[in-house]
Structure 1
Amino acid sequence: MPRRPRVLYVTDLAYEARGRRYCDEDIRLASRLRAWFDLALCHPLDAVALMDGFDAVVVRNSGPVLGYQEGYEAFRARALERGTNVYNPLTGRADMAGKQYLLDLTTAGYPVIPTVDRAEDLDRLPRADAYVAKPKLGADSIGLRFVRPEELAGLPYADGILVQPRIDFTYEVSFYFVDDRLQYALYAPDPDRRWELVPYEPTDADREFARSFIEWNGLAHGIQRVDACRAPEGDLLLVELEDLNPYLSLDLVDEATRTAFVRAMADSVNATIDARTALN
């Protein structure tokens, strides 16, 4: 009997998120992936010591990197040095590399909330009653604050912050991809209760919007979440492109959608293993 692929599933089962239990998602997802892989779970700080014995290292709900920045940098350096098969690949251009992509997408003219990181560029932002200031290396709203227009010029831009207008959006919506295929979408009908998500049926225009950011990021394989808001004018604007360890809210979709997602993820991880085997 051929050996089954071995997967190291990196997660922090003790991580606490507001309004959600990330550990439950990983426990259930990992248990289903065992149909395809010999699978072991480990904390992100243990990944460097363990990863050489596996065919793929799958990074899932490991919490914000800010909580273990030194350990994460060691993991990246070791994985790149050893050519480790990390899923998602470490070549992501979005949240995996910080918030610089919001500036890049703004400059390139993509439908994203306008973003600047210098006082001299403030005139590029539309006028608003309030603005959002957040660190380039932020996550989970860490360090985010709202500021008045008269405060913008005095912000500490040298410390690495981004500024955006505060958008009075109609709702937020997230699109969940495996590789380049949209698996499902969820949205929060009430902007004041953004964690209460329900299934969303995307239009063709919505799909095209979300897929444009997946194509921009250029990952051949991996799980990505495109977070957007519906602006008052009716257009979607990108809020975040999560390509490191996006929470999937799998408990909020029906069983058929969940089963299809798990199968797509298993096929995707297997494709990275097969590609690595072919190279060797």
Structure 2
Amino acid sequence: MTAPVGPRPALLLVTDLAYEARGRRYCDEDIFLASRLREAFDVALCHPRDAAALLDRFDLALVRNSGPVLHYQEAYDAFRARALELGVPVYNPLDGRGDMAGKQYLVELSRAGFPVIPTVDRAADLGLLPEAGAYAVKPKLGADSVGLRFVGGAEVAGALEREGEGVLLVQPRVDFRYEVSFYFVDHDFQYALYAPDPERRWVLEPYAADAADLAFARRFIEWNALDHGIQRVDACRTQEGELLLVELEDLNPYLSLDRVDEGVREAFVARLKTSLTG
């Protein structure tokens, strides 16, 4: 007679299945992940606006493709507060220093001399940026290019002053060969993807990362100091061959699992299960 199996942990997968992203279907990825995580957990999916109210029924919350937080900031803040109150673990942990906390980290890393696209947030610091034909201006709390615009050098100071100090970021528009992303679970590298055509940034292909690439990516993973979780290091390759950080996504990075082969996808799922149960 088989011994009875104990209760499985209950996992709340926070996602917005209706979120529309350019060139991608976020919902497909989370439907796939939910189907595979059910092998180890009792899984329920919920919209981020419902997460705080449901959290007390679960052992763990996994934040996945829930869309930009600025679309539901009050609900997200309530979810964070409720998770801390109940002591329910959230994956990724809530102390990330990357996009989870806004994009101030790009200013800090730029000042510290890390290999990032030069970034400032004050008109007084515009002289720290290299001269460029155009500059990217974007909100610190933005995501998925929400609020991003390009302006000429004469317009940058005015844009910052209109919004107020510390609200926007300014970066020179970089002429790059391609963008590349490195995907990690905990501190373990899983795979890399790149967009060979800069005009089709979501047409991704597998990228063979070399030792220098991984050393670049790991520098930011180590800086973030998350004990565990999924992180995506987004970078661009300049015309001179240098890698520069574009974004450190540590809240709900889209994984593009449909762009990797079955073996890589299965290895990622297995590593995620281990991380969630560790």
Task: State whether residues 123 and 160 of structure 2, in contact with CA within 8 Å, keep that contact through their aligned partners in structure 1.
Answer: no
Which residue number corresponds to residue 243 of structure 1?
Answer: 250
How many residues in Structure 1 have an aligned counterpart in Structure 2? Answer: 271
Match of 1:169, as an amino acid? F
- Which amino acid in the other structure matches residue 15 of structure 1? Y
> In structure 2, how many angstroms separate the alpha carbons of the residues matched to 1:34 and 1:67?
29
1:262, 1:67 → 2: CA distance?
29
- What residue identity is the alignment partner of 2:94? L
TM-score, normalised to structure 2's length? 0.96
Q: Which residue of 2 aligns with 1:178?
A: 185
In the other structure, the counterpart of 2:43 is 39
Q: CA deviation at 1:87?
A: 0.3
| Deviation per residue, 1:184-233 (Å, 9 max, x gap) | 00000000110100000001000000011000001111000000000111
Give the Å deviation of 1:5. Answer: 1.5
Distance in 2 (CA, whole Å) between partners of 1:89 and 1:178 is 13
Q: Distance in 2 between matches of 1:253 and 1:144?
A: 29
Which residue does the alignment assign to 1:200? 207
State the percentage of identical aligned residues.
70
| In structure 2, C-alpha distance between the alignment counterparts of 1:257 and 1:100, rounded to whole Å | 33
Q: What are the residue-to-residue correspondences of 1:53-202 with 2, within 5 Å? A: 53-157=57-161, 158=164, 160-202=167-209
Partner of 2:267: 260
Q: Cα distance, 1:268 vs. partner?
A: 0.5
RMSD: 0.9
Structure 1, unaligned runs of 5 or more: 272-280
Task: Please state if 1:26 is matched with 2:33.
Answer: no
CA distance in 2, matches of 1:136, 1:153: 16
Q: Shift of residue 52 of structure 1?
A: 1.2
Residue of structure 1 in register with 2:17 after alignment: 13
What residue is the counterpart of 1:212 in the other structure? 219
Distance in structure 2 (CA, Å) of the matches to 1:54 and 1:153: 48
Following TM superposition, by how much is the alpha carbon of 1:76 offset from its aligned partner in structure 2, in angstroms? 1.1
